[in-house]
Amino acid sequence: MRITCPHCGRRDVAEFTYQGDANRLRPDPASTDQAAWNAYVYDRVNTRGPHREFWQHSGGCRAHLAVERDTATHAILSVSYARDSDTARAGRRP
Amino acid sequence: MVEIASPLGTAFKPGRHGKPDGAPGVIVCERKPATIVQVAAFSGRETAVREALVKAAGLKLNGKPGAGVVNGSRAGFGVAPGRWLIADDKEGLAGSFAKAIAHEDGAVTRLTHGRSVFRIEGPRAEWVLAKLFAVDFSPEAFPVGDAVSTTHHDVFAAIQRVGENAFDLYVFRSFARSFFETLVRAGEEVGCEVKA
Ligand SMILES: [Zn+2]
């Protein structure tokens, strides 16, 4: 399995660290909504097929990446900087 | 001029290692730049920082991922988005960068004490490095001046091609001894000359 880092190019998966599901959105840190926090921490859809997730090129340029990976085939469908991902954008507060 | 200490200690064994006959396939030495400095741009300030860096260092860094320049005893390359590593045989460069780069644009971090630099050169340098790193070292994929950030079994290494058959490897200083031994061991097959 290889991931094409937008900065470094195609590298072995051993250089990368998985950082979790990129579909969830953290509640406002000031929120005391127990259900929302519970869902954020524990609820996963366990997708079979294309799945959005965060990775870090920890053994390379150290950039955080948004990766779309097919969980059935491990095919990497797309890679971008995490800061440019929809999740990062949605989570960014003015 | 400061006297630069080596972390290698007894692991540094000059002379021929491995295959004893014929010309050495690789020559390995420790480079001891008096300056190793990282310059990092804050988000959106990459171009401003790179331009200031190019002016202050006199190195034509074009901003393409992994692109770098070697200019005599001074070398620089991109290690990550908006981050560059510069090494120089003289002191003083970090101070000029700190003056040239505005606080709101980026950060200058002195790493001279934190990195060790090893040079591997010779006709089999690509072959020996390919044993250690999952990176394409062919000149087409990795031209002179360019650099990669990668790891050997979790030992981080920034590697710059400094000549047709020569590479400089920057590793964390605390891993220097272990990494140096691994490098020499990998070179034994082709005959490795460790030079003072
Ligand atoms: Zn990378």
pLDDT in tens, B114-170: 999 999 999 999 999 999 999 999 999 999 999 999 999 999 999 999 999 999 999
CB contact under 8 A, A14 and B134: yes
Last residue of a domain, one of B43, B76, B110: B110
In a domain, B10, yes or no: no
B123 and B190 within one domain: yes
Say which range, A21-25, B37-41, B112-116, has the weakest mean pLDDT.
A21-25
Q: Which of B196, B195, B184 is nearest to B17 (CA)?
A: B184
B178 and B117 within one domain: yes
CB contact under 8 A, A7 and B151: no
Number of folded domains in chain B? 2
B151 and B182 within one domain: yes
Calculate how far, in angstroms, residue B40's C-alpha sits from the geometric centre of ligand 1.
15
In a domain, B9, yes or no: no
A81 near B CB under 8 A: yes
Q: Tokens 């340098």 belong to which residue?
A: B125
Above pLDDT 70, what percent of chain A?
96
B191 and B118 within one domain: yes
In a domain, B106, yes or no: yes
In a domain, B69, yes or no: yes
- Coil, helix or strand for B182? helix
CB contact under 8 A, B151 and A60: yes
CB atoms under 10 Å from CB of B49, counted, come to 25
The boundaries of the domain holding residue B132 are 23-32+113-195
B101 and B124 within one domain: no
- Coil, helix or strand for B87? strand
B48 and B27 within one domain: no
Q: What is the 3-state secondary structure (H, E, C) of A36-78?
A: HHHHHHHCCCCCCCEEEEEEECCCCCCCEEEEEEECCCCCEEE
In a domain, B182, yes or no: yes
Helices B125-132 and B176-187 pack at an angle, to 10 degrees, of 120
Whole-angstrom distance, CA of residue A23 vs CA of residue A90: 11
Would you say residue B107 has pLDDT above 60?
yes
Map out the domains of chain A as residue ranges.
2-91
Contacts with B82 (C-beta within 8 Å, 6 or more apart), sequence order: B40, B41, B42, B43, B45, B46, B49, B106
Provide, as residue numbers in chain A, all residues whose Cβ is less than 8 Å from the Cβ of B135.
11
What does the mean pLDDT of chain A come to?
92
CB contact under 8 A, A8 and B66: yes
Nearest CA in chain A to B159: A60
The enclosing domain of B42 has a CATH number of 3.30.70.1520
Whole-angstrom distance, CA of residue B162 vs CA of residue B128: 16
Domain A2-91 belongs in CATH node 3.30.2270.10: yes
CB contact under 8 A, B80 and A7: yes
B144 and B82 within one domain: no
B166 and B100 within one domain: no
A61's tokens: 């340029």
In DSSP terms, B69 is beta-bridged to B76
Q: How far is A59 from chain B (nearest CA, A)?
A: 5
For B57, the enclosing helix (H) or strand (E) is: helix B46-57
Q: Tokens 């998985």 belong to which residue?
A: A18
Q: Which of A15, A3, A9, A11 is nearest to A74 (CA)?
A: A3
Provide, as residue numbers in chain A, all residues whose Cβ is less than 8 Å from the Cβ of B132.
none
Last residue of a domain, one of B110, B134, B166: B110
B168 and B125 within one domain: yes
B112's tokens: 């001279």
Calculate how far, in angstroms, residue B79's C-alpha sits from the geometric centre of ligand 1.
9
In a domain, B17, yes or no: no
Whole-angstrom distance, CA of residue B44 vs CA of residue B113: 29
Would you say residue B1 has pLDDT above 80?
no
Q: Which segments within B32-134 are labelled E, that is strand? A: 35-41, 68-71, 74-80, 83-88, 106-110, 115-121
Whole-angstrom distance, CA of residue B156 vs CA of residue B172: 7
Calculate how far, in angstroms, residue B156's C-alpha sits from the geometric centre of ligand 1.
12
In a domain, B58, yes or no: yes
Average pLDDT on B99-118 reads 96
Provide, as residue numbers in chain B, all residues whose Cβ is less than 8 Å from the Cβ of A60.
80, 148-151
Whole-angstrom distance, CA of residue B134 vs CA of residue B129: 9
In a domain, B104, yes or no: yes
Residues 62-91 of B with CB under 8 A from A: 65-66, 79-81, 83
B99 and B72 within one domain: yes
pTM to 2 decimal places:
0.93
B128 and B104 within one domain: no
B76 and B61 within one domain: yes
Would you say residue B45 has pLDDT above 70?
yes
Last residue of a domain, one of B69, B88, B110: B110
